[in-house]
Amino acid sequence: MNVKWTVRILVWGCLLAGAAGAAGAESPQALFERGNACYRSGDFPAAELAYRQLLDQGVASGSVHYNLGNACFKQKKLGEAIYHWEKARRQLPGDAEVRENLQYANLLVVDRIEVPEDPVAVALLSRAVHWFTVDQETRIALGLFLAANFLFALALLTPGRRIASWGLAASLTAVLLALVFAGSLGWKLFEQTHRRQGVIVEQKVDVRSGPGGENVAVVAIHEGVVVRVRGETADWLQISLPNGWTGWIPSRAARIL
């Protein structure tokens, strides 16, 4: 569980250093380096504070969430660690260290909620869909769309029939790939809007039959459990567990991803 270094922090530091300096605040680059130094020295609360200050400044990269999850884990804040590693996984979907940390942390979660495994084809499709981030897929789909238009124009303007045929075939291929990435992107955006998830961060919380402490406690769940968020009021979240059970918990008990 080593801390990560990232060029993005340096970029953010260059962009925000002027604003931070004008406000008398520590720059993002300095905060990130201080957090890493505190983590290496074993001062995990100070490291957590530095990374949280980065989030407050709007620097919410995958590396910041990963390092913050590590700092929380070292302080036995399992729910917070899983929350930030889940945030990191969404921004660094192919990162092996993030995936391994989540796998290990899930072994420490008290609740063992049995759910049927997805068929192999569904699991592979889900992994493929989530291999890229929303930003990455947006750029890829846009690049393929532009390439398709360029190749189509090239096919129309090229006098040679053979080259024109190759250009047209390449254009159609780019269009199909653009549609695939656009469909994957659309599914991700749908998930973000309609399939929200949260992580339980309190050590133990009662899931109640309705939004209020006077309602019956149906079951108790513990920190680190990832739940589906189906609705909310001012102070309560309606959730469903991986096995399909539903109920209400206080909003403070979970962090929405």
What residue spans define the domains of the chain?
Answer: 7-108, 120-194, 197-256
**Is the per-residue pLDDT at 175 higher than 60?**
yes
Among 71, 65, 70, 72, smallest CA distance to 86 is for 65
Provide the angle, in degrees to the nearest 10, between the axes of the packed helices 120-129 and 161-194. 100
Instruction: Give yes or no for residue 118 having a pLDDT over 70.
Output: no
pLDDT, residue 10, reads 46
Spell out a b/e string for 106-133, using b for 16 or more CB atoms within 10 Å of the CB, else e: eeebeeeeeeeeeeeeeeeeeeebbebb
Sheet with strand 204-208: strands edge to edge: 217-222, 204-208, 246-250, 236-240, 226-232, 197-200, 254-256
pLDDT value of residue 176: 92
Position 4 scores a pLDDT of 77
* pLDDT surpassing 60 at residue 33: yes
**Under DSSP, is residue 231 helix (H, G, I), strand (E, B) or coil?**
strand
Amino acid letter, residue 18: G
Asked if 8 and 44 touch (Cβ cutoff 8 Å), the reply is: no
Angstrom distance (rounded) from CA 76 to CA 82: 11
Classify burial at 53, counting beta carbons within 10 Å of its beta carbon; exposed 0-12, middle 13-18, buried 19 or more: middle
pLDDT digits (tens, 9 = 90+) for 203-244: 999 999 999 999 999 999 999 999 999 999 989 999 999 888
- Does 197-256 match 7-108 at the fold level? no
The pLDDT value recorded for residue 166 is 86
The pLDDT score that the predictor gives to residue 160 is 76
pLDDT recorded at residue 123? 63
CATH superfamily of 7-108: Tetratricopeptide repeat domain (1.25.40.10)
Does the structural domain 197-256 have CATH classification 3.40.50.880? no
Q: 239: which strand partners? A: 229, 247
- Residue written as token pair 């407050």: 56
Residue 131's alpha-carbon distances to 77, 108, 120, 135, in angstroms, are 28, 26, 16, 12
pLDDT at 113 over 50: yes
- Tell me, what's the pLDDT at 26? 81
3-state secondary structure of 19: helix
Average pLDDT of the residues in 77-95: 92
pLDDT in tens, 124-172: 666 776 777 778 888 898 999 999 888 888 888 877 788 788 888 899 9
